[in-house]
Structure 1
């Protein structure tokens, strides 16, 4: 999980906080969006993303509201334990651990598939299992070395990701075809029935809530600055997701996504589909480069967060042997999962969305409700009163219900 260095300045720029939130949100999970949203297609998907953005922004503001009643530096864990009690704190901790583990597995799966695709373009036959495991061991070594090593590698990878991002999207948008984007080839299309299926993936694509205490620690009790960070960072993410959907759904016909999903929906399948439709070698190289950097940056961020969480949970020391124990506990379970089931990227992102409903929607709403009772004269309060708390709470519950129902094939699926 990314952090900011504490500043003693009374007046600091919000740009660093905006970039922290945007950088935390935007990662390899964005590759799942066009595939899972192909049923709802472009405009309905934008509506789902916008609604999710609204709810996730305000759930983050609710954490901020509670956090400002405590000293700067108080963690999400501290807030939950003090305001909601040990049981909710345990549930919240378990949901965070599950999300971090399932995302680590997702990125091992994603890295294996995209590295296999990368190597095949170089006429090298490397299996996805071998590539994913090798990449996971490399990340494990970097994380084991030190947090400083992770930060340095992440800075390099993020720079490369930003460059390839703009080059890739500039090229993609130049090839958008209105007939494909508007799906004119389908004489009687149905979109709305598939919207509910997208919600858990939308929720998983706006996760940043663990960074709110970091912003309070950095900016102090300055709610105006932190609100601007949350609004700006989440809006950047929403805008880039909209551009990503425009670039993919404006180039790949809707019915083609059925085959992409049937093949597991992993990153390499989407990249191959874009490359074959556009028939551009340069764009294919950019897509491969961007996807590699996107997976690497997400992988580093998530595994460092899981590593630190487990080290604190089990009180492992910061020596080489202690970090080795933590690294083993961090990487061995998801590596084993990826070896047994290498193509579970889409499923993993969906389950991450299910677990994230606890700490990104349900718990923030409960924190705001409890905080207002305990601190009735608090100087900062999220607008909307009880109706907004109920909306965020219901948003979380509906997301969990949607994922469970879709797991039993109760909801309509585009296939």
Structure 2
């Protein structure tokens, strides 16, 4: 169980900071360090609170419940359709972004490492099939693969921070460019970077969680409310 908890934690962390590692620096570059920190902290708190509310709902449902069944149980048929449409719309947007970006990266790596040149369409199709097959096998396979990828991600991020650290100056940290409209453009990027809620039902099912497993999250949710 402890191994599953660790793997589930890494899945949530990987979902949260996956695309955000690239998107957040670009989105926040024009609004300054201090404003970026405040914006990210505020949206993290919002997304963490809503995630805890989802965990609360899972206390009153079977561990295999999906977002669809949770919405039907709590909100009824009308709420079920609204919630399902909203989640499908979000998942479509996220999948389109990941497939487009991942397919391009996959093609570049194939050509760089193996000297194989593929068309963007074919590379994107192969990338999508590989990811789809991994996900289809089950959460356990995703867990194992994610542990390897997350470790590599941490190594890469640590290396980048080590190389960039000498270039960090007080002037960069205290400057507030606040170019017109950039803070508005940064909000949806930061918001989606902390969006891991679609993974919660799969994680609960993977852990075969029961109400006693939600005791600590419940206390945290009460703390947020107070």
TM-score, structure 2 as length reference: 0.75
In structure 2, relative to structure 1, the CA distance for the partners of 1:179 and 1:210 (3 Å cut) is closer
In the TM superposition, what whole-angstrom CA distance separates every residue of 1:24-61 from its partner, at most 9, and x where no partner exists? 43323432222222212433222211111101111112
In the alignment, the residues of structure 2 paired with residue 188 and residue 62 of structure 1 have an alpha-carbon distance, to the nearest angstrom, of: 35
More helix by share: 2
> Tell me, what secondary structure is at the counterpart of 2:164?
coil
Consecutive unaligned residues in structure 2, runs of 5 or more? none
In the TM superposition, what whole-angstrom CA distance separates every residue of 1:240-263 from its partner, at most 9, and x where no partner exists? xxxxxxxxxxxxxxxxxxxxxxxx
* Preserved CA contact (<8 Å) 1:37 1:198: yes
Partner residue of 1:173? Answer: 161
Shift in Å, 1:132:
1.4
The number of residue pairs the alignment matches comes to 222
Of structures 1 and 2, the one scoring higher in RCO (CA 8 A, sep 6+) is 2
2:126 paired with 1:134: yes
Q: Which has the larger radius of gyration?
A: 1
* Preserved CA contact (<8 Å) 1:17 1:215: no
- Range with greater deviation from structure 2 (92-101 or 213-222): 213-222
Shift in Å, 1:115:
2.4
In the TM superposition, what whole-angstrom CA distance separates every residue of 1:280-302 from its partner, at most 9, and x where no partner exists? xxxxxxxxxxxxxxxxxxxxxxx
2:35 paired with 1:55: no
Partner residue of 2:105? Answer: 114
> Tell me, what secondary structure is at the counterpart of 2:123?
helix
Partner residue of 1:81? Answer: 72
TM-score, structure 1 as length reference: 0.45
* Preserved CA contact (<8 Å) 1:72 1:221: no
Partner residue of 1:219? Answer: 209
* Preserved CA contact (<8 Å) 2:32 2:176: no
In the TM superposition, 1:332-347 aligns within 5 A as none
> Tell me, what secondary structure is at the counterpart of 1:175?
helix
Consecutive unaligned residues in structure 1, runs of 5 or more? 1-6, 232-380, 389-415
* Preserved CA contact (<8 Å) 2:106 2:124: yes
